[in-house]
Amino acid sequence: MKKILIIEDEEFVRENIIELLSAEDFYAVGAAEGKSGLELAFLHLPDLIICDVLMPLIDGYGVLKVLRQDPLTSSIPFVFLTAKAAKVDFRQGIEMGAHEYVTKPFTRADLLSAIDQQMKKSAFST
């Protein structure tokens, strides 16, 4: 069973994603902010991380930066969730090593296809 970590400060959004992923046979773990998210990432070494960009204290970019510095976590596929739709934001995320962007509000299909693609890519590369 693939392990996915969701870092999202909006409770309902986080809950709904965990529910969706659980229903789709993923092992989903949730964190409400960046710091606990990083702790969980190092603890579980998930197969994929879904992370909100805009969060208090440590935002999405901060989380990504820390993960990319550690060899253990540097290759974990990383999907950004963002409420922003401007192209600048995409570029910044991609440059930093994010693999996918999913813009809020997203459909079930959007999220699942993004996860599926990243999983395949990751499997291929390993």
Partner 1 sequence: MRLAGNPFLELHYSAARAIAKLQQQALQQELINYIVHAMQGSLVLSEVLQNVLDGLHIALDLSSCMIFRPDIAQQMTVDYVSTQTRNREHLCSLYHEHYHQQLTLGKPVVLPRIDHLSQISICSLLIVPLLYQENYIGAIGLYQDNERQWQAEEIKLVVAIASHCTLAIVQTSLTEQLQAQKQTEVSPHPVFSENEFKFRTIIENSIHMISLKDLQGRYLLINPAGVKILGRSTEEILGKRDADLFSNHTGDQIWQTDQQVMQKRVTRTYEETTESAGYRRTFQATKFPYISSSGELLGIMSICRDITANKQVEETLRMFDRAVAASSNGIVIVDARMPDLPMIYINPAFEQITGYTRAEVVGENCRFLQGTDTQQTELYKLRLAICEQRSCIVTLRNYRKDGTLFWNELSVSPIRNSEGILTHYVGIQKDITSRKFAEEELQQAKDQLQAVLDAVPGLVSWINSDLRYMGVNHHLAAAFNKLPEDFVGQEINFLQVNSRFSEFISQFFASRKRQSSQEVKIDIAGEQRSYLVVAQKYHLLKAAVLVGIDITDRQRMEEELRATTSRLTTLIQNLQAGILVENEFRQIALANQEFCTMFQISSSPEALIGLDHSCSINLENKLFLEPEKFGKRIAQILAEQQVVTNEELQLEDGRTFERDYVPIFVEGNYSGHLWMYRDITKRKGIETEIRKALEKEKELGELKSRFVSMTSHEFRTPLTTILSSSELLEHYRHKWADEKQLTHLHRIQNAVAHMTQMLNDVLIIGKAEVGKLDFDPVPLDLTDFCRYLLEEMQLNAQTQHVIDFNTPHQSIPSRMDEKLLRHIFFNLLSNAIKYSQSSSTIQFNLDCQDNYAVLTIQDQGIGIPSADLPRLFESFHRATNVGNIPGTGLGLSIVKKCVDTHQGEIAVESELGVGTTFIVKLPINSQVRQEASHEENFDH
Binding site for partner 1 (CB under 8 A): 9-10, 12-13, 16-17, 19-20, 23, 33, 54-57, 83-85, 103-108
Long-range contacts of 20-29, Cβ-Cβ distance < 8 Å, separation of 24 or more:
20/108, 20/111, 20/112, 21/115, 24/112, 25/1, 26/1, 26/2, 26/115, 27/1, 27/2, 27/3, 28/4, 29/3, 29/4, 29/5
Cβ nearer to partner 1, comparing 72 with 83? 83
Give the nearest distance from C-beta 35 to partner 1 in angstroms: 13
Q: For tokens 């290759």, name the residue.
A: 75
Cβ nearer to partner 1, comparing 39 with 70? 39
Give the nearest distance from C-beta 73 to partner 1 in angstroms: 24
Give the nearest distance from C-beta 28 to partner 1 in angstroms: 13
Vertex 107: Cα angle to 104 and 112 (nearest 5)? 105
Give the nearest distance from C-beta 24 to partner 1 in angstroms: 9
Cβ nearer to partner 1, comparing 8 with 73? 8
